[in-house]
Amino acid sequence: MKKSDYANTSYMPKTLLKFYFKKCFPGLYKWILLFMVFRLFEYSGSVVFPYVERWIVAMFEGAPMGTAIYAYVMPTILLLVGINMGYSTIAIIRDHISSVLRPYLNRKISQVLTDYVHLQSMSFWVNRMAGSISANIRYCNDGAETLINNVWSMVLRLVMIVLNSTLLFTVNRYIALTFIGMFILRAIFVFGLRKKIKKSAERRASTGSALSGKILDGFSNNMAVRLFAGESREHDYLEKPRAEHVNARRMASFWQRLSWAVPAYFWDMMFGATLIFCAYMYSRDMMKLSDIVYSMAVYYNVMGMISSLINEIPTIIDGMSSAAKGYKELSVPLEVVDKPNATTLNVKHGKIEIKNVSFKYKNKYILRDLSLTIKPGERVGIVGPSGAGKTTLVNLLMRFYDVRRGAILIDGVDIRDVTQNSLRENISFIPQDPAMFNRTIRDNIAYGRPDATDAEIKRAARFASADKFIMLTDKKYNTMVGDRGIKMSGGQRQRVAIARAFLKDAPILILDEATSALDSETEVAIQKSFEKLSHNRTTIAIAHRLSTLRNMDRIVVLDHGQIIESGTHKGLLRRGGEYARLWKMQSGGFLQEEKDEK
Ligand SMILES: Nc1ncnc2c1ncn2[C@@H]1O[C@H](COP(=O)(O)OP(=O)(O)OP(=O)(O)O)[C@@H](O)[C@H]1O
Ligand SMILES: [Mg+2]
- pTM score of the predicted model: 0.75
pLDDT (tens digit, 9 = 90+) per residue, 82-123? Answer: 999 999 999 999 999 999 999 999 999 999 999 999 888 888
Which residue's alpha carbon is at the smallest distance from atom 17 of ligand 1? 391
Q: What is the pLDDT of residue 140?
A: 94
Beta bridge partners of 558: 563
Length of the chain: 598
Rounded Cα distance between 548 and 522, Å, is 12
Rounded Cα distance between 378 and 195, Å, is 64
Which residue's alpha carbon is at the smallest distance from atom 29 of ligand 1? 387
Q: Using an 8 Å Cβ cutoff, are 497 and 434 in contact?
A: yes
Q: Which ligand 1 atom is at minimum distance from the Cα of 432? A: 27
In angstroms, how far is CA 555 from the centroid of its own chain?
42
Rounded Cα distance between 355 and 409, Å, is 8
CA distances from 226 to 1, 131, 233, 484 (A): 46, 21, 11, 18
Of 120, 358, 359, 391, best ligand 1 pocket probe by most atoms within 8 Å of the beta carbon: 391
Positions of E strands within 228-360: 352-360
SS3 598: coil
DSSP 405: E
Q: Do the bridges between strand 562-567 and strand 413-414 make them parallel or antiparallel, or are there none, so unpaired?
A: unpaired
For ligand 1, the distance from its centroid to the CA atom of residue 391, given in whole angstroms, is: 7
Rounded Cα distance between 388 and 383, Å, is 9
Of 50, 274, 47, nearest to 164 by C-alpha is 47
For ligand 1, the distance from its centroid to the CA atom of residue 333, given in whole angstroms, is: 24
Q: At what angle do helices 231-283 and 289-330 cross, to 10 degrees?
A: 160
Of 364, 390, 563, best ligand 1 pocket probe by most atoms within 8 Å of the beta carbon: 390
pLDDT (tens digit, 9 = 90+) per residue, 18-77? Answer: 999 999 999 999 999 999 999 999 999 888 888 888 888 887 877 766 666 777 778 888
Beta bridge partners of 509: 428, 539
Rounded Cα distance between 45 and 419, Å, is 57
Question: Which residues surround ligand 1 with Cβ inside 6 Å?
Answer: 126, 361-362, 366, 384, 386-392, 432
Ligand nearest to the CA of 559: 1
With a cut of 60, say whether residue 590 has pLDDT above it. no
Confidence label for 565 from pLDDT (cuts 50, 70 and 90): very high
Q: Using an 8 Å Cβ cutoff, are 161 and 305 in contact?
A: yes
Percent of the chain surpassing pLDDT 90: 37
For ligand 2, the distance from its centroid to the CA atom of residue 585, given in whole angstroms, is: 20
DSSP characters over 182-225? HHHHHHHHHHHHHHHHHHHHHHHHHHHHHHHHHHHHHHHTHHHH
CA distances from 53 to 79, 404, 567 (A): 13, 75, 97
Q: What is the pLDDT of residue 2?
A: 42
For ligand 2, the distance from its centroid to the CA atom of residue 386, given in whole angstroms, is: 7
Candidate from 111-115, 160-164, 225-229 with smallest mean pLDDT: 225-229
Which residue's alpha carbon is at the smallest distance from atom 25 of ligand 1? 386
Q: CA torsion, points 183, 185, 189, 192, in degrees to nearest 10?
A: 110
Instruction: Provide the residue type at 582 as one letter.
Output: L
Which residue's alpha carbon is at the smallest distance from atom 16 of ligand 1? 389
Confidence label for 592 from pLDDT (cuts 50, 70 and 90): very low
Confidence label for 527 from pLDDT (cuts 50, 70 and 90): confident
Of 125, 361, 393, 560, best ligand 1 pocket probe by most atoms within 8 Å of the beta carbon: 361
Q: What is the pLDDT of residue 67?
A: 66
SS3 406: strand
In whole numbers, what is the pLDDT of the chain averaged over residues? 86
Rounded Cα distance between 293 and 288, Å, is 9
DSSP 440: B
Q: Which ligand 1 atom is at minimum distance from the Cα of 385? A: 25
Q: Using an 8 Å Cβ cutoff, are 483 and 493 in contact?
A: no
Confidence label for 313 from pLDDT (cuts 50, 70 and 90): confident
Confidence label for 594 from pLDDT (cuts 50, 70 and 90): very low
For ligand 2, the distance from its centroid to the CA atom of residue 405, given in whole angstroms, is: 21
Greatest CA span in the chain, whole angstroms?
Answer: 131
Q: At what angle do helices 490-504 and 454-463 cross, to 10 degrees?
A: 120
Q: What is the pLDDT of residue 589?
A: 47
Of 340, 336, 338, 357, nearest to 402 by C-alpha is 336
Please report the domains of the chain, with CATH numbers, ordered by start residue. Answer: 16-330 (1.20.1560.10)
